[in-house]
Chains A and B, each alone.
Chain A
Amino acid sequence: MRARPKLQLEACPECDALLRPAALVDGDKAHCPRCGFLLQRAQKNSIERSLALSVAGLLLFVPANCLPLVGIKFLGNAKDGILLSGVAALYGEGMWAVATLVFLSSMLFPLVNILLSLAISLHLYLNRPNRYLRHWMRWLQHLDEWAMLEVYTLGIIVACVKLSSMADLHFGLGLYAFVGLLLVTVALAASLDRTLFWQRIDALRRKPA
């Protein structure tokens, strides 16, 4: 066996296979040969893309939350709903636990995710070390699975289909911003190459100030 420094190896998070990383070309996917886990998806200009997409996400977040998503007309009564009104209605009925869960997974965690991605990719882009970088990256990884914009979008669709038989519906500008926000966050999750980000964070930390 050829002797290689241990640091160059990596382990699969789902089956613990010890692996030797191959040099990836942009666009390559690396799978674990033992269990098939997707280890890394090398992205072209991952840091620049993540930076641009988090700025776009931040810009879309405001209209997606402030403008009406869906409006309803029923026997002369009209009502518009924004993102927060679902949370407010749940809270108003005393369902504070469900209201909190909806608020976190559809508003707060997506926003925190975008802000963390923005902060991390900006620091990496400017090559500026920051002692909080590694904590931000850890939070980002843990919060990622609790942001559920895509599920919320499906919830809007199902609710609209249910209502379409009994009332007139119209879609507000907020809905377009919301769908845009969804697409941006999906693209952001795909373009943020975690392996590369950790390597860069570690390299920045070792850099003499």
Chain B
Amino acid sequence: MKRLPGALRQGLIRCHDCGALAKQETVPHPCPVCGSPLQARIPDSLTRTMAFLLSGYALYVPANLFPIMTVTRFGVGEPHTILGGILALIDGEMLPIAILVFIASILVPLLKLLGLTLLWLCVFYRWQVNARRWTLMYRMIAFVGRWSMLDIFMISILISLVDLGGVAQVLAGPAATAFAAVVVITLFAAKSFDPRLIWDHQTHDERRIRLRNPRRLAE
């Protein structure tokens, strides 16, 4: 009988915090090495991920519709949305920075929400996919998420420096809170998704394993 090499199918559970393996029978007890509760998979991974995703989508709208900051010069206020700020950068002939801000503030949060939704659908409907590629997608989503904080940090620096009363002033707008919430919520969404669930539903898994004996490759 062919057996898939997943640790759980062999009755072993990997501790989420320290990586130690424990027998499934010991489950009500905490991990003997680090003391954290042992769980084979992140509990309620799909439900939690979807809850974070839905709130992420809901907040993405106000984050892009409302002004994220207001630039006042000589008493004339000029509210900027995220997109407006990028257009102002293009007008100021700062195209590379404009592209950077566009990627970090608009593209990354949106692709992150869409990508996690796809991963969620993949697990929920048990799609037969190239699990290796989909895990790579998850890994990239988890890695790029933090860079969306760029806009928030930039605004905090701008409003502290440009504070010259009526001459020039930058104020944060209501979209800043919504955008920060989108970033944090998508980080939590990525954290609560368990990529091992993609592998659990693959039926033709063994064909992709190149090594007969499970062992670690050292490069």
Q: Are the chains A and B members of one assembly? A: yes
Task: Point out residues on A near B: beta carbons under 8 Å.
Answer: 6-7, 9-11, 13-22, 24-25, 28-37, 39, 70, 72, 74-75, 77, 79, 81, 85-90, 93, 95, 97-99, 101-102, 105-106, 134-135, 137-138, 141, 145, 148, 151-152, 154-156, 158-159, 161-163, 165-167, 194-195, 198, 201-202, 205
Bound together, the chains give a CA A89 to CA B138 distance in angstroms of: 36
Task: For the complex formed, measure the closest distance between the CB of A73 and the CB atoms of chain B, giving whole angstroms.
Answer: 10
Select the stretch in B16-24, B50-58, B111-119, B121-129 that faces chain A: B16-24
- Contact status B19-A93, CB under 8 Å: no
5 additional contacts, CB 8 Å, given A13-B196, A98-B180? A21-B215, A77-B164, A81-B157, A86-B153, A134-B34
Tell whether, in the assembled complex, residue A154 and residue B147 are in contact, meaning their CB atoms are under 8 Å apart: yes
Assess whether B35 is in contact with A74, with CB atoms less than 8 Å apart.
no
Question: In the complex the two chains form, what is the Cα distance from A16 to B5 in whole Å?
Answer: 8
The complex places the Cα of A86 from the Cα of B155 at a distance, in Å, of 8
**Chain B residue with Cβ nearest A99:** B156
Q: List 25 A-B contacts (CB under 8 A).
A: A6-B21, A9-B12, A11-B12, A16-B6, A18-B7, A19-B215, A19-B216, A22-B216, A25-B218, A30-B217, A31-B219, A33-B210, A33-B211, A36-B136, A75-B167, A77-B167, A90-B172, A95-B176, A95-B177, A101-B152, A154-B100, A156-B153, A162-B97, A163-B161, A165-B92
Q: Does B195 reach chain A (CB closer than 8 Å)?
A: yes
Residues of B in contact, count (CB < 8 Å): 76
Q: Closest residue to A155 on the B side, CB-wise?
A: B153
- Residues of chain B lying within 8 A (CB to CB) of residue A25: 218
Q: Which residues of B are at the interface with A, using a C-beta cutoff of 8 A?
A: 5-8, 10, 12, 14, 16-21, 23, 33-36, 89, 92, 94, 97, 100-101, 104, 131-132, 135-136, 138-139, 146-147, 149-164, 167-168, 171-172, 176-177, 180-181, 184, 187, 191, 195-196, 198-200, 208-211, 213-219
